[in-house]
Structure 1
Amino acid sequence: MSPSAPTLWPPLLKALLRNRSALIGGLITLIVVLGALLAPLIAPWDPLRFGGSNRLSGPSPEHWLGTDQYGRDLFSRVLYGARFSLSVAAVSVLAGLLVGGTLGLLAGYFRGWLDLTISRLADILIAYPAILLAIAFLAFLGGGFTNLVLAISVVFVGPFIRVARAAALMVREEPYVEAAQAMGASHTRIILRTILPNAAAPLIVEATLRFAYAVLAEAALSFLGLGVQPPFPALGSMVSEGRAFLSLSPWGSLVPGCAIVLMVLGFNLLGDGLRDALDPRLRRL
């Protein structure tokens, strides 16, 4: 049996609970996630239901955040739009983390020609502007949930490779890794039981920050008409549709725009708090 790596999670958890940014970001994120998950129970109206003559109205007891140009309830549509954005972001980040994290760990652990090949792949993916690369994928594949996830996750593979590789290179030289190798532990066991637990902290921080980028990317692509197609509610397409009616009623663009800002703010604050709590130079043990 190979020696186990020292655990740092208890003091890190204490540092995280003392971090104001992490707590505020976590609270915002929790509210957003709960609102999205419970959208079918919370939404007072069908997000696709046309409202007849009640169009472009402001907030009222009947429609808490107003209605759009078709009389559809903006609060209900924002809940379902956030649900879609979070779904795209979650799957995209998870896919990018699994592929990029695995390749980065292999590159950092084995080094040599494998490290060189994987590092050049990461350089190629990072060399192109992320949004342009995603637009190129969607222009070729078309819109929809699956293609959105594929386009955004491919963009995230490169950064995850970089983070995982750097963490693996640092952990690889620790004495407990050398002891595991001397005791004859297999490469798979060393990577999964020794390298990965100690490389998890930077990957968690990167995943949290990439979650915010994924929400922005989905909103930007939907705004350009490359995401899910109307009448399905997506925050980016709602902002785009409301632009033509800003002089009559700003709520159609303002409400989904504020929802995007709130989601990104929550994940960024949470990611910054995690980074500060997980950095031994910044946290107070």
Structure 2
Amino acid sequence: MSTFVIGYYAALIAASCLAAYFKKREAFLLLFSLTLASFVLGLIGGRPALNTITVAAAVIALAAGTAYAWREFLAILLPRELAKAIRTAPLTASFGLFVIFTYAVMGIFAPVIAPFGEAEVIAGAFDPPSEALLLGADQLGRDMFSRIVYGARNTVGLALAATLLAFFVGAIAGLFAAVKQGWFDQIMGRGADVIMSIPSLIFALLMLSIFGTNLMVIVVVVAIIYSPRVFRLSRAVAGNVVVMDYIEAASLRGEGTGYLIRKEILPNSMAPLIAEFGLEFCFVFLLMAGLSFLGLGIQPPTADWGSMVRENALLITFGEITPLIPAAAIALLTVAVNFVVDWMLFRSSGLKD
């Protein structure tokens, strides 16, 4: 047995014992579970398996440290009420906020961050990573790092625009349906049921095949697909608010529908709607990435993560990870947004400390 293996298990067992002694239950469960998993995988895979576990644990520890530092940084900068909320946020939510901030900076300052243009050919096809090419080149010799950076602007920006449109249309329709009820509520509800009964990918493929793959068409089609989901949630949330006494009092004193929605219903419905916005963004983002992978989303030479996966998919057969880079960018943002949404749902549920 090598010195590395002995030191590895000694460090894990010592850390587990310290966590148990200081009654850190969660830390003890995590460390001892890692010890057991390492023992089993070590018996099966030997030292290479332990090396892999060590690297994975180091990456997780780095992410946790970054999330903790980012949470403390935000708590110092933000006003007192927001700082109090941030300090109680779990590390997963803090990590999600950090990832979202990083993607936002990449998208806004893409021309400054990217060393080359998104369609600029500067090397040979599939050139390996080097000092000039941080992530190597794609099938046409374009810098993968530059296209990843520009993809943050194009892919995320387009998904955000479609989500905003879907959320605006669905939320307004749902709030009006909750207040007006009657025939308007019935028509909007049946229309939402019809759209939701059609699989989203099939509906998008059909509409884009008919109207083309113009960016505006993509945004409108995706907004039509997901606005019924927002409609149903906003209708349900607002339906619980409109029966309150203060809504009836406002109606009796002559307030109009617009006032009731803006001043009475919407402020009391914001928490679930904001959480729904994050979930809708994830759905829209993944749908647009899927459409680009199928060739019906953002068109070349514009950098887009979904199309980048398709363009470099051949390299998977040669053991290269180039196609996994844009796929990892998609997965990381989706997970980060879900971390933040989970935290917001927890706070809005009334279970917060």
Fold-level similarity (TM above 0.5): yes
The answer to whether structure 1 residue 81 and structure 2 residue 151 are counterparts is yes
Q: Evaluate the alpha carbon distance shift between residue 154 and residue 16 of structure 1 in structure 2; reply closer, same or farther with a 3 A threshold.
A: farther
Aligned to 1:180: 250
The answer to whether structure 1 residue 195 and structure 2 residue 265 are counterparts is yes
Q: Evaluate the alpha carbon distance shift between residue 74 and residue 138 of structure 1 in structure 2; reply closer, same or farther with a 3 A threshold.
A: same
Q: Evaluate the alpha carbon distance shift between residue 139 and residue 14 of structure 1 in structure 2; reply closer, same or farther with a 3 A threshold.
A: farther
Q: Shift of residue 12 of structure 1?
A: 8.4
Q: Deviations over 1:152-178 (max 9, x none)?
A: 111111101001101110111122212
Q: Shift of residue 18 of structure 1?
A: 1.5
CA distance in structure 2 between the partners assigned to 1:157 and 1:30 by the alignment: 26
Q: Evaluate the alpha carbon distance shift between residue 259 and residue 160 of structure 1 in structure 2; reply closer, same or farther with a 3 A threshold.
A: same
Q: Deviations over 1:79-107 (max 9, x none)?
A: 11121111111111111111111110011
Aligned to 1:100: 170
Q: Evaluate the alpha carbon distance shift between residue 92 and residue 13 of structure 1 in structure 2; reply closer, same or farther with a 3 A threshold.
A: farther
CA distance in structure 2 between the partners assigned to 1:163 and 1:12 by the alignment: 26
What code does the residue aligned with 1:176 have? Y
What code does the residue aligned with 1:214 have? V
What code does the residue aligned with 1:234 have? D
Aligned to 2:74: none
Higher helix share: 2
Aligned to 2:341: 271
Q: How does 1:114-193 map to 2 (within 5 A)?
A: 114-193=184-263
Secondary structure of the residue aligned to 1:137 is helix
Aligned to 2:280: 210
Q: Shift of residue 41 of structure 1?
A: 0.5
Verify the 8 A CA contact 1:66 1:251 in the aligned structure 2.
Answer: no
Aligned to 1:4: none
CA distance in structure 1 between the partners assigned to 2:260 and 2:225 by the alignment: 29
Q: Shift of residue 250 of structure 1?
A: 2.4
Q: Evaluate the alpha carbon distance shift between residue 16 and residue 123 of structure 1 in structure 2; reply closer, same or farther with a 3 A threshold.
A: farther
Match of 1:262 among 332, 336, 339: 332
Q: Shift of residue 182 of structure 1?
A: 2.1
Using structure 1 for the length normalisation, give the TM-score: 0.90
What code does the residue aligned with 1:283 have? K
What code does the residue aligned with 1:37 have? I
Aligned to 1:3: none
Moved >4 Å (runs of 4+) = 10-17
Aligned to 2:25: none
Match of 1:31 among 78, 82, 102: 102
CA distance in structure 2 between the partners assigned to 1:175 and 1:16 by the alignment: 33
CA distance in structure 1 between the partners assigned to 2:87 and 2:196 by the alignment: 34
CA distance in structure 1 between the partners assigned to 2:132 and 2:319 by the alignment: 17
Secondary structure of the residue aligned to 1:247 is helix
What code does the residue aligned with 1:36 have? G
The answer to whether structure 1 residue 283 and structure 2 residue 345 are counterparts is no
What code does the residue aligned with 2:343 have? G
Verify the 8 A CA contact 2:161 2:219 in the aligned structure 1.
Answer: yes
> Number of aligned pairs?
273
Q: Deviations over 1:26-58 (max 9, x none)?
A: 1111111111111110001122111243x3133
Match of 2:129 among 54, 59, 75: 59
The answer to whether structure 1 residue 47 and structure 2 residue 118 are counterparts is yes
Unaligned runs of 5+ in 1: 1-9
CA distance in structure 2 between the partners assigned to 1:62 and 1:121 by the alignment: 53
Q: Deviations over 1:95-137 (max 9, x none)?
A: 1111111110011112122211111111111111112111111
Using structure 2 for the length normalisation, give the TM-score: 0.73
Match of 2:314 among 244, 249, 252: 244
Percent of aligned pairs with the same amino acid: 33
Secondary structure of the residue aligned to 1:237 is helix
Unaligned runs of 5+ in 2: 1-79
Q: Shift of residue 247 of structure 1?
A: 3.3
Verify the 8 A CA contact 2:123 2:137 in the aligned structure 1.
Answer: no
